Structure 1
Amino acid sequence: MEGDDENGVLIEEDYYTFFNIPRDVSYRSATNEEINSAYRRNSRMYHPDKHVDPDRKKEAEILFNKTKKAYEVLSNPHQRAIYDSLGTRGLETEGWEVVQRTKTPQEIREEYERLARERDERKLQQRTNPKGSVTVNVNATDLFSRYKDDFDYDESENLHFPTIEVSGLSITQSIEAPLTLRNTMTMSGQLSTQNGTGTGCVDVSVRRLLSDKGWMELGFGAGNGPTFTFKGFRTLTKRTFSNVATILQFTPHGIRPDLVTTLATQLDKHTVGYLTWRGGIHSSMSTTIVRDTATSHAAFAIQFGIPHSFFSLSYTHKLQEMEMKLRGSVKAGTFGAIMEYGAEKKVSQHSWLAASVAVGIPSGVTLKIKLNRANQTYTFPVRLSDEIMPSSVFYATVTPVIIWAVVKKLIVDPIVHEQKERDKVKQRELNKARMAEKKREAESAVQLMRATFARVRSDEEAKRGLVIIKALYGRPVNITDVSRRGSGSAGSNADPEYMDEVIDVMIALQCLVKDSKLVLHEASKVCTNCKDSC
């Protein structure tokens, strides 16, 4: 039996045990001939046409379908390799038709995990529409202000409470609505306010998939004047693609055109280069190189344009075992310079929490906290000082670490532990139900085997072969041991925890006898009182 109820592992079907053939172990695995022979044996016993009673016929249909399913999996080398590595859950995963049949068990497991993640992401995408983000700007510069107020104040007032205010708020939401297989409509909106001044806009766009190499998108927006957009994407070669975006914004002062064109090419397996040109009121030319591997992500960019030119370098180290990312970046140009460092941690299956510190001239010190939950992003930039001050840098670095440690200990860990316990309880209940179902299935199988049992036993008796008189499955309990563990006597006072269930499997074993031989592939079976040794 596969699965461990105590560890919360789901009990799955064991096709090898059902067919009584050897699993892939050190000495050998079942051959095609053994699989075909087991399939024929079970088909003869469980074929619905061999049973007249309606209840028996219904039970036979269940076991006959299980026989066909087991044969379908074990007779197919590709499905059998997946089943051996992952069990029945691997066979239920979408996308296996694209997996190469020559993959090793480890590669099959990695492919299963990838396909399972993609399936979960697709389900999550459906549950979390609409997409969106919320940004709350917080001004906390009064915490580290070097200067006192210039105006006079009451000398009796000895305490000064710093002022922390929300200086800005921005909310964006979008919904994608498929129109046809090739057309998708996107509706989005944005509301923002900064220092008491608010703006907003609404955009509607339709994207059409032209082919597997390209698409085009037309959009209309209203807010700060009507806006028309056109976007396009095209794959040029196997390693190169390009996109273009044109924006026309109608304002009281005239039309503001904007054009952005990007050409990208894959430099090697992990590296992509981008060349971007932007024309309009703000014109620029930039080059970006991005390298992404399983353990790191690095990007370098340089831009020349109006009003700003700059270069930037960023690096992210991925700690996969800890489910954490460490980030660092430097950016300098005509606007000044800024350095940013931080970390990102996975806090649940679909949630990431990130904190970073930005130190720059003339921007000062800012603490950024970001929470990604599925396709929703919540960002909290907290401005600590307008100048670079050691105290603000220190507290911006240390405070998130301390807060996270406290929150994890008092809130996150108890919630995760409680969730795991609930999952274990559900798993145990499900396994209990499955075990009861398997027990009923086994009892039905014994009843369906009686005709085969009578025939096999008659043949063995006629040729003085192997006739099984009694066969038990399970571990017999030593009465003396039970007496010692319990209250001193076996019987009603014995502790049920130590009483192992023993099942009569004489009929099932006699049906497995072939040419006066019985071959079993499970060491936990106990046979007694046979006329010949098993």
Structure 2
Amino acid sequence: MSSSGMDKSWINIDLDPESENFDENEAEKHLKEMEEKLVATDDLYATLNVSRNASEDEIKDAHRHLSRMFHPDKQTDSELRESAQEQFHRIQRAYEILIDPKTRAIYDNFGEEGLKAKLDIGQRFKTAAEMRKEFEEEAARKYQKEVENLIRAKGNFTMQVDATQAVSEVVQDELIAQGQSWDPIPRVRMMALKHSVESQILPNIGLNLVASMVTKGKNGSGNLLGTLRYTHSPQSTFSVGLPLINPRKLILKSSFRPTSDTFYNIESTLKHNSLPAAVFTTGKSVKKNMTAFMSVQTGNEVLHSLLPEYSTKQREKSSATIGITGVSWKSNYNAQVTASARVSNISFSLSRDLDTNFKLNGGLMVAAAGSKNSGLAGLAAISTHVGGTAKITETTSIGWTTRVSLPNGIQLNLNFSHLGQTLSLPILLSPIPEPDIILLAAALPAIVGVGLHYTVFRPRRKRQLKQRIDDLKESQQKIIELRKKDAEHAVKLMKETIKRRKDAELRDKGLVIVRAVYGDIDSSSFITTDQKLSEIEKQQQQQQQQSDAGPIIDVSIPLQSLVYDKHLVLPGGISKSQLIGFYDPCFGSPKKLHIEYLFRGEKHCVTIKDNDPVAIPLRGHLINNRNVSP
């Protein structure tokens, strides 16, 4: 197979890392599709040319027909006998697997991997359902082991740094006015560590352990929270959490999803020194990519007034939140309003994907205080943030967020994530909004992040992607060359037999495949007018020679071999490239099968997509009513 034919499927993918036209998203998507399609194993149903719901009799008939055609004893030439032996073994293997209900069930559910694994699921006393369950359990154990080897736990380490004396002129001037010197070295104000592990102890029960620790100055605290999660069904879950160290509290959570576009959540925390409170949340999809939600926090003040004997200082205010969240093109957005007797707020956030591995985000929040906490004319707080995230590799990313707020000042948060482990570094730059620091804190990380993404990370991913595509092309070429060689041998073996059958069909005015081509074709270019069959066959030979340098192949002989009792039926859902005598001449490109045939001496023509079923003859394929002379 020539390289031109092979490369056609990649012609629309720009693989030059320096090219402005390189589309990383499309290239990655295309590559994943090609990696899934590049399978070196045969489709056993296509080998026998039967549908996936074929009966035992249909499988036996197909096996009988093909095994007779490719039986090695029919060949006198040693080379042809060897080729026939390979084809016969291929047919026999497909038959033995599909005729046995148990191995067929394994193949239908798990493909060749299931046949290779075999396990103990082939024992005679096990049903198909039991086999499927055992295989799934084994696959789950294997997957869990792989995941545990890759990511054993999730962790988060946060270190808050105070750099106000080193950065803020306001703080420096205030210290000087008080007769104090300012320290240019940032100080650590707080450190926090959170580590979690999760395990499935029973099929529907999971255990999650979260260890946390916080230190601030000379003070510190920590706890270990254990949570049991029970999955009643894919739509319903319930969990119970209990800290193992004081302060002890019972955390109850439940979620229910009655439909794919509606959910309900409830959470309640029970403390020994406080009356209970609960949070109810519900959401529903209002558009294809938009969900509206509402959350109500009951608080416990009402219970305190009703049960004064249980009143404590730990009181929680009630509140209600409504909002929407959704996705629009390459953006994610969230808007919500919270009403409370203490503080009400409105917030909006937006993130935008510049490409698959880089996104920017921003948001605004305004909070108003109640009459007892009126503050600045009712304004309790205002906060805005901008930031971004850049993916370095599939499992590693960096990010930054610059947050400016009243009354908390300016903070820059840097984070690094790798395989579920996150390092966060919040840096307090100024206790008040200072324009020059705001500009520097917002612009500098963005410039560095964008610069690294477009000059280092993205070009490196492009080169890695190009290498993957080159490797895939090499594998593709090897596999397709093998399939081409196998198809050519099959055609050579059946050529004489099919010629005799074709002549017999012509005499009986039966079904004769005049010409059939498969690949990346334009159907209109193959429709012919009336010709003598000898002229068509001559044109067919010329087309076959031309197809060696293009994305199509001649499959007239393989198709004629599948004619039974003046009919040809090809099942749907299977690529035609898997049929005996076929191969994929244009890997990755859409393929069609074009057939020109005679039935009762009349010319017919049809073009169908690769995975569509074929049933001929049909009156709808008739070109005209004039006979084609032999």
After TM superposition, the score normalised by the length of structure 1 is: 0.63
Alpha-carbon distance, 1:167 to partner: 2.7
Show the 5 A alignment for 1:229-378: 229-233=251-255, 241-248=264-271, 255=273, 259-264=277-282, 266=284, 268-269=286-287, 270=290, 271-279=292-300, 281-295=314-328, 296-304=332-340, 309-316=343-350, 318-319=352-353, 324-334=359-369, 336-345=380-389, 347=391, 353-371=398-416, 375-378=420-423
CA distance in 2 between partners of 1:409 and 1:265 (Å)? 38
Secondary structure at the counterpart of residue 318 of structure 2: strand
CA distance in 2 between partners of 1:354 and 1:173 (Å)? 20
CA distance in 2 between partners of 1:242 and 1:314 (Å)? 23
CA distance in 2 between partners of 1:4 and 1:139 (Å)? 56
Show the 5 A alignment for 1:476-515: none
Alpha-carbon distance, 1:412 to partner: 0.8
CA distance in 1 between partners of 2:266 and 2:559 (Å)? 69
CA distance in 2 between partners of 1:407 and 1:200 (Å)? 38
Unaligned runs of at least 5 residues, structure 2: 14-30, 52-57, 74-81, 96-143, 302-313, 370-374, 509-531, 563-596, 609-627
Deviations 1:109-151 (A, max 9, x none): xxxxxxxxxxxxx999875453333323222212223325559
CA distance in 2 between partners of 1:125 and 1:299 (Å)? 36
CA distance in 2 between partners of 1:282 and 1:319 (Å)? 42
Show the 5 A alignment for 1:143-182: 143-146=167-170, 147=172, 150=176, 162-182=184-204
Alpha-carbon distance, 1:400 to partner: 1.1
CA distance in 1 between partners of 2:192 and 2:327 (Å)? 34
After TM superposition, the score normalised by the length of structure 2 is: 0.54
Q: Pick closer, same or farther for the CA change 1:48–1:167 going to 2, 3 Å.
A: farther
Secondary structure at the counterpart of residue 491 of structure 2: helix
Answer yes or no: is the 8 Å Cα contact 2:213–2:221 preserved in 1.
Answer: yes
Secondary structure at the counterpart of residue 275 of structure 1: strand
Secondary structure at the counterpart of residue 4 of structure 1: helix
Answer yes or no: is the 8 Å Cα contact 1:5–1:427 preserved in 2.
Answer: no
Q: 1:386 aligns with which of 415, 425, 431?
A: 431
1:215 paired residue number: 237
- Letter of the 1:299 partner, please give it: A
CA distance in 2 between partners of 1:506 and 1:317 (Å)? 55
CA distance in 2 between partners of 1:433 and 1:331 (Å)? 62
Which structure exhibits the higher relative contact order, with contacts defined as CA atoms closer than 8 Å and separated by 6 or more residues?
2
Answer yes or no: is the 8 Å Cα contact 2:383–2:406 preserved in 1.
Answer: no
Alpha-carbon distance, 1:445 to partner: 1.5
CA distance in 2 between partners of 1:510 and 1:388 (Å)? 81
CA distance in 1 between partners of 2:405 and 2:355 (Å)? 33
Show the 5 A alignment for 1:409-420: 409-420=454-465
Matched residues, number: 419
- Letter of the 2:300 partner, please give it: G
Q: Pick closer, same or farther for the CA change 1:411–1:283 going to 2, 3 Å.
A: same
Deviations 1:81-120 (A, max 9, x none): xxxxxxxxxxxxxxxxxxxxxxxxxxxxxxxxxxxxxxxx
Alignment partner of 1:59 is 2:70: no
CA distance in 1 between partners of 2:230 and 2:551 (Å)? 65
CA distance in 2 between partners of 1:211 and 1:519 (Å)? 52
Answer yes or no: is the 8 Å Cα contact 2:270–2:277 preserved in 1.
Answer: yes
CA distance in 2 between partners of 1:51 and 1:177 (Å)? 54
Q: 1:445 aligns with which of 466, 478, 490?
A: 490
CA distance in 2 between partners of 1:57 and 1:136 (Å)? 69
Q: Pick closer, same or farther for the CA change 1:282–1:423 going to 2, 3 Å.
A: farther
Q: Pick closer, same or farther for the CA change 1:332–1:124 going to 2, 3 Å.
A: farther
Alpha-carbon distance, 1:427 to partner: 0.9
Show the 5 A alignment for 1:121-200: 128=151, 130-141=153-164, 142-146=166-170, 147=172, 150=176, 162-200=184-222
Alpha-carbon distance, 1:310 to partner: 3.4
Secondary structure at the counterpart of residue 330 of structure 1: strand
Answer yes or no: is the 8 Å Cα contact 1:46–1:61 preserved in 2.
Answer: no
Secondary structure at the counterpart of residue 441 of structure 1: helix
Q: Pick closer, same or farther for the CA change 1:183–1:520 going to 2, 3 Å.
A: closer
Alpha-carbon distance, 1:178 to partner: 1.6
CA distance in 2 between partners of 1:319 and 1:223 (Å)? 42
Answer yes or no: is the 8 Å Cα contact 1:191–1:201 preserved in 2.
Answer: yes
- Letter of the 1:456 partner, please give it: R
Alignment partner of 1:202 is 2:224: yes
Q: Bigger shift: 182-191 or 335-344? A: 335-344
CA distance in 1 between partners of 2:169 and 2:552 (Å)? 79
- Letter of the 2:464 partner, please give it: Q
Q: Higher helix share goes to which structure?
A: 2
Q: Bigger shift: 363-372 or 391-400? A: 363-372
- Letter of the 1:311 partner, please give it: N
- Letter of the 1:145 partner, please give it: E
Alpha-carbon distance, 1:287 to partner: 1.3
Show the 5 A alignment for 1:416-435: 416-435=461-480
Answer yes or no: is the 8 Å Cα contact 1:5–1:431 preserved in 2.
Answer: no
Alpha-carbon distance, 1:244 to partner: 2.8
CA distance in 1 between partners of 2:552 and 2:421 (Å)? 55
Alpha-carbon distance, 1:419 to partner: 1.4
Unaligned runs of at least 5 residues, structure 1: 20-31, 33-38, 68-121, 155-159, 250-254, 478-498, 523-531
Deviations 1:167-213 (A, max 9, x none): 32222122221222321111111122223433221111212234566
2:567 paired residue number: none
Q: Pick closer, same or farther for the CA change 1:518–1:136 going to 2, 3 Å.
A: same
Answer yes or no: is the 8 Å Cα contact 2:249–2:269 preserved in 1.
Answer: no
Show the 5 A alignment for 1:55-94: 56-60=84-88, 62=90
> Over aligned residues, Cα RMSD in angstroms?
5.0
- Letter of the 2:349 partner, please give it: Y
Q: Bigger shift: 403-412 or 58-67? A: 58-67
- Letter of the 2:431 partner, please give it: D
- Letter of the 2:494 partner, please give it: M
CA distance in 2 between partners of 1:357 and 1:43 (Å)? 69
- Letter of the 2:169 partner, please give it: S
CA distance in 2 between partners of 1:132 and 1:267 (Å)? 33
